[in-house]
Chains A and B, each alone.
Chain A
Amino acid sequence: MKFLIAVGSKEFSEPTLRVGLQVAKAFKAAVTIVYAGPKISEFSTSQVRFTQERMEEWEFDRPGVEVLEWAFNFLAENDYITPTSIEAGFPKNTLVQTGGNRCEVYLQGTICKDVNLILRNGDIIAELRDEVRRGGYDVTIIGGSQKRRMAHDLIQYINSSIFVVNKYDQHQDYNLLLPVDDSTHTPKAVQYGARVAQAFDVKVNLITVSKTDSFGEGYTKASQLASKMMRRAGIAHEHRFETGDPVDVIKKTAGDNHIVVMGASTKNPLFKFFTGSKPLKVMEDCLCPILIVK
């Protein structure tokens, strides 16, 4: 499996990196850490690039390199990269230009197979979309954003599962909330949920929500399968059936002390674009990390 972790700054991205690597470890996935800097207007691309080259001669790194260096140090401190890589230090001189606005450096990972660091410039959604298309990533991990549009664009346009590490506090005890229904993505969400629960060593709260008092056969079967999988994996879990609006119930149950894992909507993309979807609505108002599985 391949995970893409998007970081923005040293100040705010530590939880994203910490959680991302922990989950990647559980999946034994290859990890790429990407920093996307601001978009450079086409009127100025040559001038900006040229100035940055001049600044490198004065031993100033181009913007974003310090974020990658911080990520490297984080990987080193937590033994995610091999001692040889750590001893060699952050290899900023081997940042290879692999496209107009993309540089990358390769590191050898320990727990995760390969660890790549990538520097990009441009619109964050466009850059992540391109990176996912290019690298075929299974999960994209990103920090929470106050822009509501960001959640919409991530779910709509990024062709991988999305893990938004929203308001994560490493000192808080979390449980995992796994909404289960008869949708196509639920089985995969249950598999991912089990892995995440193992990574964080937390209890799983399975929840099936119906708008009416009756729960159809699909719902019951899905919840039985989910419970069975948790039991086989040896994960502590409990299952609840709730009645009400699924989005409201999930948000209320999640509070700020759950990691939510749920399947992506299977609605037509055009409907999703205009009317949104359940996962999107949960993601927009959620006060905790949420993984939308595609």
Chain B
Amino acid sequence: MLNTFIYWLTQKRWLVFAIIVGILMYNISAPAGLSIEGYRTLIIVVMAIILIIFEPIPLPAVAMMILIMQVLLGIDTPNGVAKSFMSDAVFFIMGSLMLAVAIISQGLDSRLALGIIKLTGNKTWKIVIGFIAISAFLSSFIGEHTVTAMMMPVGLTLIKNSGVDNRSTAKLAGLILFSIAYGSAMGSIGTPSGGGRNVIMLGYMKEFGVVNISYLQWMKYAYPILLLEIPLAALILWYTFKPSQLILDSAVRKLKIHVTKRGSVSGNEILTILIFVFVFLGWVFFSSKVGLGIIALIGVFLYMSFGLIRWEDLNRNTNWGVIILFGAAVSLGLHMKDTGAAFWVADTAINWMKMISDDVSIIRWFVAVVLTGLLTNLLSNAATVAVIGPIVLNMGGDTLVMGFSTAIASAFAYLTVVASPTCMIIHSSGLVDKSDYLRAGWKMFIMSVFVLFFISNFW
């Protein structure tokens, strides 16, 4: 019995720590200039961050804790909390996760494989650039993990047919798998629909009265970053995981044979693509009126109506826990704004920065971007934007640039396995080690920060 309790305590030590921190903070009076409600909101933020990073309890339990505490600590009424929980951003996250399931289920990965090989040929360096570019391009529209899931079998076919054992293909595996994961992560900044956190940030910008950015305007700002990052990422990955196999002749041949077995394009595959094009056009032309989330849900509705995906499959493969958590995180973010907690944190941060220099414009930008980038590697990108977004938009300066840069920086999920589902998917192949993420990731991180800085200031 005592041993079971000790075991529980060691497994749940971060939960116990979070509770102790919460109780201690609750018993300290609120700092000057911060309302009681604002201070209590910050207590929930601190506890939630600890629990999300260390995962001592299931993520939906963290979400429930956030919602419960917002009511019990008197931050908002039950109806107020419920209203803030569901938004277009949450609809979008739910819709895009379901769209991903619908698209991946159709087996379009084979078509994709053939397309890539036709474009790149059999030289390894060309294949790597092709993988990064195509992953980036696709993920800017359909979400990073969808692309990674489709590209993984293609990449693995090349890796497994390129050497006699895992040791001889270790570097090639790192090169190809990180091309997919990092390409997808980079691409997710390309359009608002590339990731849930883009939509969360757009929602916050609307709340803060910042000028409304259309789908195409976002692309105009974000795509140059993406186009600059693609060749730089290819260089970084090539020199980090330089493989001994410079030509993948037999692997490419085997991939072609595998793909040819699938036969010609089926009606369902054509319909899948057509519906997605329809959804994409909806995002471009109607998202400012009906919202990105509703359009994503229209797509899901169409996939189900045409019988392309069954509800059972959607239900089984959609990560409901993540949706609930992001809903709660957005609710927390909105309460940070409403209670003045976000403003207080931003103001305190700016005052600290002023100790370094009176002109904080560049420091402010770097702090926002680097902090977002680092937190995204620990917390997940959407949760990071949900928590950091309201603070950054209160930091002053050009709120459009600050908000946009924060959303972009949340894609710098290169450093850890848990940074994003794309990183976890390639890790689950068993072919890349945890240390490989840092090996390539820190270079990618620095490169991305400087590209973003360059575009933010000169575009």
The smallest C-beta distance from A7 to any residue of chain B, in angstroms, reads 14
Contact of A41 among B97, B101, B317, B418 (CB under 8 A): B418
Residue B148 CB within 8 A of the other chain: yes
Q: Contact at B429–A43, with CB atoms within 8 Å?
A: no
Q: Contact at B153–A44, with CB atoms within 8 Å?
A: no
Knowing A42-B59, A49-B317, say if A55 contacts B424 (CB, 8 Å): no
Q: Contact at B258–A54, with CB atoms within 8 Å?
A: no
For residue B107, which residues in chain A have a CB less than 8 angstroms away from its CB? 57
Knowing A43-B380, A50-B101, say if A58 contacts B149 (CB, 8 Å): no
The smallest C-beta distance from B197 to any residue of chain A, in angstroms, reads 13
For residue A51, which residues in chain B have a CB less than 8 angstroms away from its CB? 148-149, 152, 425, 428
For residue B7, which residues in chain A have a CB less than 8 angstroms away from its CB? 129, 156-157
Residue B397 CB within 8 A of the other chain: no
From 296 to 329 in chain B, residues with beta carbon under 8 angstroms from any chain A beta carbon are 317-319, 321-322
Knowing A50-B101, A157-B7, say if A60 contacts B149 (CB, 8 Å): no
Residue A1 CB within 8 A of the other chain: no
Q: Contact at A47–B424, with CB atoms within 8 Å?
A: yes
For residue B356, which residues in chain A have a CB less than 8 angstroms away from its CB? none
Residue A273 CB within 8 A of the other chain: yes
For residue A157, which residues in chain B have a CB less than 8 angstroms away from its CB? 3, 7
Residue B164 CB within 8 A of the other chain: no
Q: Contact at A40–B424, with CB atoms within 8 Å?
A: yes
Q: Contact at B428–A52, with CB atoms within 8 Å?
A: yes
The smallest C-beta distance from A184 to any residue of chain B, in angstroms, reads 16
Q: State in angstroms the CA–CA spacing of A124 and B322 once bound together.
A: 25
Residue A37 CB within 8 A of the other chain: yes
Chain A CB count within 10 A is highest, among B7, B101, B107, B418, for: B7
Size bin of chain B's contact surface: 35 or more
Q: Contact at A54–B149, with CB atoms within 8 Å?
A: yes
For residue A43, which residues in chain B have a CB less than 8 angstroms away from its CB? 59, 319, 322, 380, 418, 420-421, 424
From 315 to 357 in chain B, residues with beta carbon under 8 angstroms from any chain A beta carbon are 317-319, 321-322
Q: State in angstroms the CA–CA spacing of A54 and B150 once bound together.
A: 8
For residue A46, which residues in chain B have a CB less than 8 angstroms away from its CB? 97, 317-319, 322
Q: State in angstroms the CA–CA spacing of A136 and B258 once bound together.
A: 45
Residue B160 CB within 8 A of the other chain: yes
From 132 to 176 in chain B, residues with beta carbon under 8 angstroms from any chain A beta carbon are 145, 148-150, 152-153, 156-157, 160
Q: Contact at B321–A42, with CB atoms within 8 Å?
A: yes
Q: Contact at B160–A47, with CB atoms within 8 Å?
A: no
Q: State in angstroms the CA–CA spacing of A46 and B420 once bound together.
A: 13
Knowing A48-B421, A58-B258, A269-B6, say if A40 contacts B428 (CB, 8 Å): yes
For residue A89, which residues in chain B have a CB less than 8 angstroms away from its CB? none
For residue B153, which residues in chain A have a CB less than 8 angstroms away from its CB? 54-55, 57-58, 60
Q: Contact at B156–A41, with CB atoms within 8 Å?
A: no
Contact of A54 among B97, B109, B421, B424 (CB under 8 A): B109
Nearest chain B residue, comparing its CB with the CB of A66:
B430
Q: State in angstroms the CA–CA spacing of A209 and B387 once bound together.
A: 60
Please classify the interface of chain B as helix (H, G, I), strand (E, B), loop, or mixed, using the class held by over half of its residues: helix
From 19 to 55 in chain A, residues with beta carbon under 8 angstroms from any chain B beta carbon are 37-38, 40-52, 54-55
Q: State in angstroms the CA–CA spacing of A47 and B427 once bound together.
A: 12
Nearest chain B residue, comparing its CB with the CB of A37:
B430
Q: Contact at A270–B319, with CB atoms within 8 Å?
A: no
The smallest C-beta distance from A204 to any residue of chain B, in angstroms, reads 31
As a 0/1 sequence over residues 398 to 428 of chain B, the CB contacts with chain A under 8 angstroms (1 = contact) are: 0000000000000000000110110011011
Contact of B149 among A37, A47, A63, A270 (CB under 8 A): A47
For residue B149, which residues in chain A have a CB less than 8 angstroms away from its CB? 47, 50-51, 54
Residue B72 CB within 8 A of the other chain: no
Q: Contact at B424–A48, with CB atoms within 8 Å?
A: yes
Residue B33 CB within 8 A of the other chain: no
For residue B58, which residues in chain A have a CB less than 8 angstroms away from its CB? 42
The smallest C-beta distance from A245 to any residue of chain B, in angstroms, reads 26
Knowing A54-B104, A55-B156, A58-B153, say if A268 contacts B59 (CB, 8 Å): no
For residue A58, which residues in chain B have a CB less than 8 angstroms away from its CB? 109, 153, 156-157, 258
Q: Contact at B3–A63, with CB atoms within 8 Å?
A: no
Contact of B156 among A49, A60, A64, A129 (CB under 8 A): A60
Residue B55 CB within 8 A of the other chain: yes
Nearest chain A residue, comparing its CB with the CB of B319:
A46
For residue A64, which residues in chain B have a CB less than 8 angstroms away from its CB? 430
Residue A126 CB within 8 A of the other chain: yes
The smallest C-beta distance from A141 to any residue of chain B, in angstroms, reads 21
Q: Contact at A44–B152, with CB atoms within 8 Å?
A: no
For residue A42, which residues in chain B have a CB less than 8 angstroms away from its CB? 55, 58-59, 321-322
The smallest C-beta distance from A59 to any residue of chain B, in angstroms, reads 8
Residue B35 CB within 8 A of the other chain: no
Q: State in angstroms the CA–CA spacing of A184 and B163 once bound together.
A: 55
Knowing A47-B145, A55-B152, say if A63 contacts B55 (CB, 8 Å): no
Contact of B3 among A41, A49, A269 (CB under 8 A): A269
The smallest C-beta distance from B359 to any residue of chain A, in angstroms, reads 38
For residue B265, which residues in chain A have a CB less than 8 angstroms away from its CB? none
Q: Which residues of A line the B interface, CB within 8 A?
A: 37-38, 40-52, 54-55, 57-58, 60, 63-64, 126, 129, 156-157, 268-270, 273
Besides A54-B150, A269-B2, 20 other A-B contacts (C-beta < 8 A)? A41-B55, A43-B59, A43-B420, A43-B421, A43-B424, A44-B145, A44-B418, A46-B322, A47-B148, A47-B421, A48-B421, A50-B149, A50-B317, A51-B149, A52-B428, A54-B104, A55-B156, A60-B160, A63-B428, A269-B3
Q: Which residues of B line the A interface, CB within 8 A?
A: 2-3, 6-7, 11, 55, 58-59, 97, 100-101, 104, 107, 109, 145, 148-150, 152-153, 156-157, 160, 258, 317-319, 321-322, 380, 417-418, 420-421, 424-425, 427-430
Closest A-B pairs by Cβ, 10 of them: A44-B424, A63-B430, A58-B153, A46-B319, A44-B421, A269-B3, A47-B421, A51-B149, A41-B418, A47-B145
Pairs across A and B, CB under 8 Å, 5 listed: A42-B58, A43-B319, A43-B420, A43-B424, A52-B428
